[in-house]
Amino acid sequence: MQNFEYMAPADLATAVQALGTQRGLADILAGGTDQMSLMKERIHTPTRLVSLRNIAQLRGITSARGGVRIGATATIAELQGSKLVAGKYNALTQAAEGVTSPQMRAMGTVGGDLLQRPRCWYFRNGFGLLGMDAAGKSLPPQGENQYHAILGNKGPAYFVSASSFAPALIALGAKVKVQGPDGAREIDAADLFQIPKNGQERESSLAVNEILVEIAVPDAGKFKTATYEVRQRKLMDWPLATASVALEMSGSNVKSARIVMGHVAPIPWRSSEAERALVGKSVSEASAAAAGKAAVASATPLSRNKHKVRLAEIAVKRAILRASGKELA
């Protein structure tokens, strides 16, 4: 690991200033579950680490504006144990349950989950965010792409967004607050993510010197919500495909729907096709299956990941049934 300077400021303004304006010179340290691995593998080689551990403003889970406020450095364990979340935000709770490692729950933060770097093995082995060889050729399309994107993969990005919580938060209509040198701004959770157009861009829309402060989740009282994950194994691993849904009902029919898939595209992927297929219908195995098919109708699998199309379809179907209380045995 490269030598680095360590700072642990007590306030946001100092932390923002310490990040500087040039990408790569300074990095944020929250729980460290991803950052340390990146530094050990020399994927990130910052000369300064700015720890967020002493900034009280980033901690905690509290009631706010009729919903719940989740501090960026609140841990996954805190989220799982919060009485403000349990029973009210099933999509979020079920996403948290997928993180089975006690160590990851104890140290990993909600903000860190949202902003973790891609798990693409080309990126993790030094071929850059877009997985290019020395001649500028993209390696994933015809390479080892079993876990890569099936949506939003027209190029040049083929990795998948690795966040466990992003699909649920987007389905719940959450907003995030970020702090930079010019003050704070609030954006939709979906706008935290972007598909990079070149190797100099990131998968996050945050500027070099912006810090994620908190996530504001509105009251979910009128929605039925759920998350469903398809995994190769239940031990510490990332899902192959996930779906989070929020359904607003009018009697027995779906009045409105938000359906967001994870681990299938470079960003959390909201499917308007699946939503249109479901709205106005009662929830049944047939209508949920139709929504699942609609969600992947435009999928373009790579050479070795066609299986993910079916897995994503099933994830959407199961999440809809789970949210409506009609989950299959």
Are 185 and 265 within one domain?
no
Are 168 and 211 within one domain?
yes
pLDDT at residue 236 in the model: 62
Backbone angles phi, psi at 28, to 5 degrees: -85, 140
| pLDDT range class, residue 24, cuts 50, 70, 90 | confident
d(CA 312, CA 60): 33
Tell which residue, 159, 108, 151, has the closest CA to residue 130.
159
**Quick one: which H or E segment has residue 227?**
strand 223-230
d(CA 276, CA 254): 10
Are 316 and 248 within one domain?
yes
Sort residue 263 into left (φ over 0), alpha (ψ -120 to 50) or beta. Answer: left
All residues at 6 or more sequence positions from 197 whose CB lies less than 8 Å from its CB, including other chains:
156
Are 253 and 278 within one domain?
yes
pLDDT digits (tens, 9 = 90+) for 235-282: 667 899 999 999 999 999 999 999 999 999 999 999 999 999 999 999
In one letter, which amino acid is 109?
A: T
pLDDT digits (tens, 9 = 90+) for 161-213: 999 999 999 999 999 999 999 999 999 999 999 999 999 999 999 999 999 99
Are 296 and 181 within one domain?
no
d(CA 5, CA 25): 10
pLDDT at residue 47 in the model: 93
pLDDT digits (tens, 9 = 90+) for 6-15: 999 999 999 9
d(CA 93, CA 98): 9
Residue 153 is assigned to a structural domain of this protein: no
| pLDDT range class, residue 234, cuts 50, 70, 90 | low
Q: What 3-state class would DSSP assign to 78?
A: helix
* Domain residue limits at 94: 57-115+161-217
pLDDT at residue 155 in the model: 84
Which of residues 191, 217, 243 is at a domain's end? 217
Q: How many structural domains are present in the chain?
A: 2
Are 75 and 187 within one domain?
yes
Are 81 and 211 within one domain?
yes
Radius of gyration, alpha carbons of the chain: 19
Which of residues 217, 236, 264 is at a domain's end? 217
Are 176 and 238 within one domain?
no
Alpha-helical runs (H) found in the chain: 12-19, 35-40, 76-81, 90-97, 102-107, 110-115, 121-124, 166-171, 272-278, 285-295, 307-323
Which of residues 171, 197, 217 is at a domain's end? 217
Residue found under tokens 């909201």 = 270
Complete DSSP assignment for 272-327: HHHHHHHTTSB--HHHHHHHHHHHTTT----TT-THHHHHHHHHHHHHHHHHTT--
pLDDT at residue 312 in the model: 98
Residue 65 is assigned to a structural domain of this protein: yes
Q: Does position 25 have pLDDT exceeding 70, yes or no?
A: yes
Backbone angles phi, psi at 217, to 5 degrees: -110, 120
* Average pLDDT for the chain: 95
pLDDT at residue 65 in the model: 85
How many CA atoms lie less than 13 Å away from 34 in the CB half-sphere?
Answer: 18
Dihedral angle sign, alpha carbons of residues 8, 13, 14, 18: positive
Are 174 and 237 within one domain?
no
Q: Give the global pTM.
A: 0.96
